[in-house]
Structure 1
């Protein structure tokens, strides 16, 4: 049906064109301005109705997009320490082992800092850490040494001053003491 209508309209347009070529008086007799505008308006209206009707019967189709490309997650220094801190502050079975790993890791960093800051041997640095001489912070000294203990006042201050875990506060204070030691000239 669509093809027939288009073919008929095309044939009529070609015929009118041929007639105008043959009889030039026909072109002046027909007011082409008004007729042309009317013809274009009718064709536009018919085409509009045809497209609207065709669109009503078209089923909707949705396109699914693929997942965006995921960035490769490269490990950053300290990721494992953050994970160990997370397990050390909770109430899991791995808590005790995680706390020991953190103490060992901070102790190694403190040992390296004491050796670099004082120029002493590792044995001397280990003795200073065990006796608590390596820092002025009693909480940091007690964190890395079994021989150094906190006074009752310091313990109370630690309990009241720790918004979260006391252990995390001790780790934080020990790490800050190591940082201060490495920053000293």
Structure 2
């Protein structure tokens, strides 16, 4: 609390005390009250009430009673997995790689890739969905024979695919999937088919 607040508070209390007690300086107070009208007396009463109401305000203005708000912690960026992470985990998982167990997983991946290829062909060739499906089904949407065989009706030698996949240490199905993804990505970028 500042010295000014204390001084004003003491002055206000002294004025209030003088006004209320008034007996010690009775003749002066009586002359002031008798020479004034009713409206002035009302103002004096209201002033006294205001001074009494000011006492708690002055007392509550102390620094030790002051609770300041603390700033919250700054926002931090949310960790988001990179795009395609779930897809990569799916094709690297044991369910996808196992020949008999992963049939449903491979079908699901193939369905997703076929849909992505059809949409990429639609954008690249500026054609409707039915024509894009025909291109993907026939294998005419890309020059990559592995990708065309994986999504279309074209046949591709399993021996040749296995021979290409072994040095990369991936299964033949995973090799075809990755080649298909690269072909779709190339088509989206505008590279030649």
TM-score by length of 1: 0.54
CA shift at 1:182, angstroms?
1.1
Which of 74, 77, 85 is the equivalent residue of 2:83? 77
Mapping of residues 149-164 of structure 1, within 5 Å: 149-150=155-156, 154-163=157-166, 164=170
Mapping of residues 105-184 of structure 1, within 5 Å: 105-145=112-152, 147-150=153-156, 154-163=157-166, 164-184=170-190
CA shift at 1:144, angstroms?
0.5
Q: Which runs of 5+ in 1 are unaligned?
A: 1-70
Which of 93, 103, 110 is the equivalent residue of 2:110? 103
List, as ranges, runs of 4+ consecutive aligned residues in structure 1 with deviation greater than 4 Å: none
RMSD between superposed Cα atoms in Å: 2.1
Q: How many residues align?
A: 110
Which of 98, 103, 128 is the equivalent residue of 1:90? 98
Q: Distance in 2 between matches of 1:113 and 1:72?
A: 31
CA shift at 1:108, angstroms?
1.2
TM-score by length of 2: 0.52
